[in-house]
Amino acid sequence: METRTPAERRRLVMSLPPLRPADADVIAAFLDTTWAEGGLAQATLDGYRRDLEGLARWLDGRAGGLAGVGRGELFDYLAWRTRHGWSARSNARWLSALRGFNAWQLRRGDREDDPSADLDSPRLPRLLPRALAESQIEALLRAPDTDDPLGLRDRAMLELMYACGLRVSELAGLPSAALNLRQGVLRVTGKGSRDRLVPLGEEARHWVERYLAEARPVLLGGREAGALFLEPGGTPPTRQAVWRLVKRHAASAGIDPDRLSPHGLRHSFATHLLNHGADLRALQMLLGHSSLSTTQIYTLVAREKLKQLVAMHHPRG
């Protein structure tokens, strides 16, 4: 069965009965506690909310609603999600949200068992990050028309994403105050509200300076704005807008847009640094990974590249 797109999944959930007030209240209470205790990013909390609301709407009051859901209902709901095209990765995230919710209920004494205990996490394929070749990165960075204010903005955004390994959410919400051109560093607030300092590099610094001097005042139109990158009228771009501009410039650069996302620039940043001898611990700090094991996947990318080179060029490859 084909995996549904996020938009298709949202439409399917919207066709379910509306959320009951009791379920809405218990979800809100759980998220408030989770935010206060764990300091999770807003995007993570929003994902938890969507996942729990989807289950609550599907239940529509059965078994006492979300707070009283049992193992049988959870197995049926997981089967329903799988049948309607949710991916294994989406189901794994849903199960993570559910287990957090059930653990919170147990701590409060609202129930004595965890109905998700018998649910196995879906087996996820280990996907290697997809990085562009350095020549493709050069073509992508040259694609925007820098004689146009929006094109100059796009060039500065692409340069910064690649130079600093930014997530799309980090770039879209980047405040002007995070940029220190004198010292040549960028303060980035990543997942879990953790801050990191990332060097800009001379090329990125040059294009950001040009953007600030030539394009940003035009896009502001006399208004005030705290965000570094702006749409016409002075509002910051959404993550979807960043996604679209990356795809658009990829197509102009002769790169298949279906094979590139904004996160691909982050993967390229990490892979290219590692290929040029960067230390794995330093790369972990630059990417803002809380665990070195997350960063180590890029060593697998480098190994795969070496295997391909041997297969192509060794006489006995």
Q: Which residues are the active-site residues?
A: 167, 191, 263, 266, 289, 298
| Sequential DSSP letters for 198-244 | EE--HHHHHHHHHIIIIIHHHHHTT----BSS--TTSPPPPHHHHHH
| Residue pair 246/259 in contact by the 8 Å Cβ criterion | no
Q: Residue 137: is it exposed, middle or buried by C-beta count within 10 angstroms (0-12/13-18/19+)?
A: buried
Smallest CA-to-CA distance from 22 within 110, 97, 90, 92 is with 110
Cα–Cα dist 231/233, whole Å = 6
Structure-block tokens of residue 312: 């192509």
H-only helix segments in the chain: 6-14, 21-38, 42-59, 71-83, 88-108, 134-142, 149-164, 168-172, 202-210, 216-220, 239-252, 262-275, 280-287, 292-295, 297-313
Cα–Cα dist 99/176, whole Å = 38
Residue 296, C-beta contacts closer than 8 angstroms, at least 6 positions apart: 280
